[in-house]
Amino acid sequence: TSAVAEQPLEQNTPIPQLKKRQRLNRTGPNKPVVDQSAEGVDNAIAVVGMSGCFPMAPDLEIFWQNLLEGKDCINEIPASRWDWRACYGDPFSEENKTNIKWGGFIEGVDTFDPNFFGISSHEAQLMDPQHRLLMTYVWRVIEDAGYSAQELSGSNTALYVGIMGCGYSELARQANVSIEGYSATGEVPSVGPNRMSYFLNLHGPSEPIETACSSALVAIHRGVEAIRNGCEAAIVGGINVLVASSMHIAFNKAGMLSQDGRCKTFSAQANGYVRGEGVGMLLLKPLNAAQRSGDYIYGVIRGSAENHGGRANSLTSPNPQAQAALLVAAYSNAGVNPRSVGYIEAHGTGTALGDPIEVNGLKIAFETLYDQTQHEQTVSFGGNTAHCGLGSVKTNIGHLELAAGIAGVIKVLLQLKHKTLVKSLHSEELNPYIDFSDSPFYVVQENQPWQPSNDKQGRALPRRAGVSSFGFGGANAHVVIEEYQDQPMLRQRDHVEKYEFTAGLLVLSAKSANQLIRYVEDVLHYIEANNDIDLTNLLYTYQVGRVAMSHRLAIVVDSRESLLAELKSVLQNQLSAAVFQGVVGKQKRLSFGDIIAGKQFIGRLIAEQNFKQLAELWVNGTDIDWANHADQLRFRRLSGLPGYPFDQTRYWISEPDELTRQVDRQVKVNSTERRTTANPHPLLQENTSDLYEQRFTTRLTGKEFFLDDHQVKGSRILPGVAHLEMARAALAKAAAYLADGKFIHISQVVWARPIIVGDVEKDVHIRLMLEEEGQIRYDIYSLSDTSGEDVVHSQGIADIKSQLPTISESSVSHIAALQAEINQASLAAEPFYQILALMGLELGAGFRGVNEILFGNNQVLATVGIPAAVIETQDQYIMHPGLMDSALQPCFALIHREEMLRFAALPEEPTAGSSKAVYAELSLPFALESI
């Protein structure tokens, strides 16, 4: 927020002016600027990856469309941030009030995928949302560059991000959330980049940058310097999120914010800026290294500089001398002719005083640079011809404060990509205090082609631009960016015999089956939208540029059309012989000889283009070094391909609703009861853990009510719901802090084999395993009587949640309304259980919890309760087997409605061989999505 705290200017207000030939006080050597080609500059830095999210733009493609359409992305402060009406008032006469209700806001601030990053749900809720955005968009920028995180692991990669506290901890205090260890790591800004360096195993510098509004651009400058000082790569960017009203009130009282919600840079109506949210990340590499790797290069950073304004009129007033000196230093560092610069993305906050000062600084800096390069006059743009456009993305999305610089850089890179300058909004009538005469500058007021300049031989020079950011504390930064034209790797590829695509292998993977399906949908939509996709490089990028995860899909394709068809077949669950799927568990450790032999075998399969066997190996867990077998002159990494489809679960500090408070209290009561009783849980009798696994064991005799009262075709079988309670109890013991109001979420449950207890007692075990993504996997198993090996009966995935899912009022059905709707027929409890017995499911008193069943149109409504025969056991369980099984039993009535109603209506008693005998096949549940 480098805006000047000011009152509206009168026409006679003096504006600080710089005389035309005023010289700058330089601290560095006044070396001449000599235009150099990108190919000959060893310290040029390539931008090879880009990711971001801005107001009304969840991705950069939509961001560009918004810029192209001249879209103003400002709206009223949404209720998800704060109630602007509660603090609306006169900022100068009322305490803690503001008359500003506008801002630019992004979606997804409250969502995160903690399991992907190995973070618990509870910790995720306490994390500053900016930390969560940092992790997500750092991962996305790596993928956008066509790299896998494994390739960066162990590397000397730097990570610099503009970030500071956003007020999330203030929300936690307002909601009376208890302070704990996660509160510190979730709040301290340095933990944001540090946590991601830890996750990715990066060994370069990892630092937050906080220089107010110049933070993101200073982060880019630091990343450039880190690479020039020996780092292999750098990830740089900035994040800004608005979650509390306090800074809104403070900036308004300082006179910085626009009351009408429009940032009018360079306009005669400029009256302050609008606050905005956003996140942006770049992946930087040395230009020569990016060329060797065949990376897609968005642009080249030729130079950068940072400085401080020193003593000015006030702490928050800009120093035009320092701004001009900054520009001279940046372009001297870049070694480019200033006459070839066709665009400046101005800091341009839209204040009546700040904008003229910035333009005056630009004019003096470029006069100084022109003096130093008089011998480098260009053909197209000489003298003072207005050839350098000015604009500010703040007119579209507001001032993103710590992320302002990265928004400006991404805008410039997109303009370079599309060779188009987009209009700067709200500048129809220019600020009369800005004198553009006798200068190379003009305001871009309409979209226009970005024309390059020419050197004195008439050859086109790369398009060039500068980006400025000025912090309101005086910290300034400027970056010089150049269009990438040199294609040495592509020139080499031109000499390679034209590669005709005949067949290939698309590989996709995710942490779960649902996310893999979402991945397939994203890739399908991308290919449908791109008719001229380079299929060879698309397949190559997904092979080398993504981390191979547990749920895998491989598709053998021979054309774009076949790929589209196979992706659709996956979504329709109609797989052909060209599609391979697998779930990879923990693999056995291979010997060195096995690894060498395997690599040779895979190399032969790739050489023979045996894609079906490669697909089968990969989906079953074989590691394949795709890059090692690729022709580097033939393949290149593509940018902009769909990346990992992160889960969008909400994690946010909020006041608990009454339902959450009631359940929270009950959990604490139950936990206290369990801790004070000496009796073990009926389904979790003994902790038998060792150094290798966490395990609990229960000995079943067959006399337990949940076995004796639950027999299928004469065999005593442990009901599936008892497996769930066993898993819940084991997780509760393993996670002792559940007494603090946490909840267990169990998903992906599969009942594979029944647990049958005959005349001999049977030991049943449950083991808990921590997965890489932070979830807990459990197996319920016994030992085979013959081989002694594990026999897995059921398994599932669990994690710990800090709050219950939010249930909207509209989704709650009222019993009276349901009874009126579902009233076509009814079935009493006694005939219902008689029919189940004839079908082979013999339920004793402990499992007869259904009182009545009503039938509707493909619906049933049942009243259930804990059976009276086992009511005294209700405090021993959270999910009582008798109640839970009774809640599932109406499914039989839904499946076998006609048989049940028909046979229940017959007068005779149901016996085997009578006309009321039931011959329907008994269907039992085998899977559960979540509980």
Please give the residue that has the higher pLDDT: either 633 or 426.
426
Please give the residue that has the higher pLDDT: either 561 or 384.
561
Quick: pLDDT tens for 829-850.
988 998 888 888 999 999 999 9
Q: Which of 48-62, 330-344, 450-464, 904-918 has the highest mean pLDDT?
A: 48-62
- pLDDT, residue 62, reads 96
pLDDT category of residue 264 using cuts at 50, 70 and 90: very high
Question: Quick one: 335 exposed, middle or buried, by C-beta within 10 A (0-12, 13-18, 19+)?
Answer: buried
Among 289, 196, 296, residue whose Cα is nearest residue 541 = 296
Q: Are 318 and 2 in contact (CB under 8 A)?
A: yes
Q: Is the confidence at residue 265, as pLDDT, over 50?
A: yes
Mean pLDDT of 497-512: 81
765 φ/ψ angles, rounded to the nearest 5 degrees: -120, 155
pLDDT category of residue 22 using cuts at 50, 70 and 90: very low
Question: How far is it, in rounded angstroms, from Cα 46 to Cα 284?
Answer: 6
Helix (H) or strand (E) holding 20, with range, is none
Please give the residue that has the higher pLDDT: either 788 or 484.
484
Three-state secondary structure readout of 601-646: HHHHHHHCCCHHHHHHHHHCCCCCCCHHHCCCCCCCCCCCCCCCCC
Three-state secondary structure readout of 897-930: HHHHHHHHHCCCCCCCCCCCCCCCCCCCCCEEEE
Tokens of 404: 């302002």
Mean pLDDT of 330-334: 91
Identity of residue 553: L
- pLDDT, residue 664, reads 44
Quick: pLDDT tens for 108-167.
899 999 889 988 777 888 889 999 999 999 999 999 999 999 999 999 999 999 999 877
C-alpha separations of 759 from 109, 701, 764 in Å: 58, 8, 15
Q: Is the confidence at residue 452, as pLDDT, over 50?
A: yes
Local structure of 117: helix, strand or coil: helix
Question: Quick one: 12 exposed, middle or buried, by C-beta within 10 A (0-12, 13-18, 19+)?
Answer: exposed
Three-state secondary structure readout of 807-852: CCHHHCCCHHHHHHHCCCEEEEHHHHHHHHHHHCEEECHHHCCEEE
Among 141, 110, 96, 346, residue whose Cα is nearest residue 241 = 110
Please give the residue that has the higher pLDDT: either 896 or 378.
896
- pLDDT, residue 669, reads 43
Tokens of 294: 């065949």
Among 350, 343, 339, 327, residue whose Cα is nearest residue 444 = 343
Sign (positive or negative) of CA dihedral 882, 885, 891, 897? negative
Local structure of 175: helix, strand or coil: coil
- pLDDT, residue 773, reads 66
Quick: pLDDT tens for 660-672.
444 444 444 444 4
Question: How far is it, in rounded angstroms, from Cα 185 to Cα 192?
Answer: 8
* pTM of the entire predicted model: 0.69
pLDDT category of residue 736 using cuts at 50, 70 and 90: low
Mean pLDDT of 752-761: 90
Buried b (16+ CB within 10 A) or exposed e, 214-223: bbbbbbbbbb
What mean pLDDT value characterizes the chain? Answer: 84
Q: Is the confidence at residue 449, as pLDDT, over 90?
A: yes
Give bridge partners of residue 147 from the DSSP assignment.
none
Quick: pLDDT tens for 380-437.
444 446 889 999 999 999 999 999 999 999 999 999 999 999 999 999 999 999 999 8
Q: Is the confidence at residue 41, as pLDDT, over 90?
A: no
Q: In angstroms, what is the C-alpha Rg of the chain?
A: 33
Please give the residue that has the higher pLDDT: either 220 or 635.
220
pLDDT category of residue 169 using cuts at 50, 70 and 90: confident
Among 102, 76, 108, residue whose Cα is nearest residue 645 = 108
Q: Are 817 and 785 in contact (CB under 8 A)?
A: no
Question: How far is it, in rounded angstroms, from Cα 215 to Cα 691?
Answer: 48
- pLDDT, residue 496, reads 42
Question: How far is it, in rounded angstroms, from Cα 10 to Cα 3?
Answer: 18
Whose structure tokens read 């994390």?
Answer: 127
- pLDDT, residue 733, reads 82
Whose structure tokens read 């039931």?
Answer: 918
Which residues make Cβ contacts (< 8 Å) with residue 902, sequence separation at least 6? none
Which residues make Cβ contacts (< 8 Å) with residue 837, sequence separation at least 6? 843
Give bridge partners of residue 800 from the DSSP assignment.
744
Identity of residue 359: V
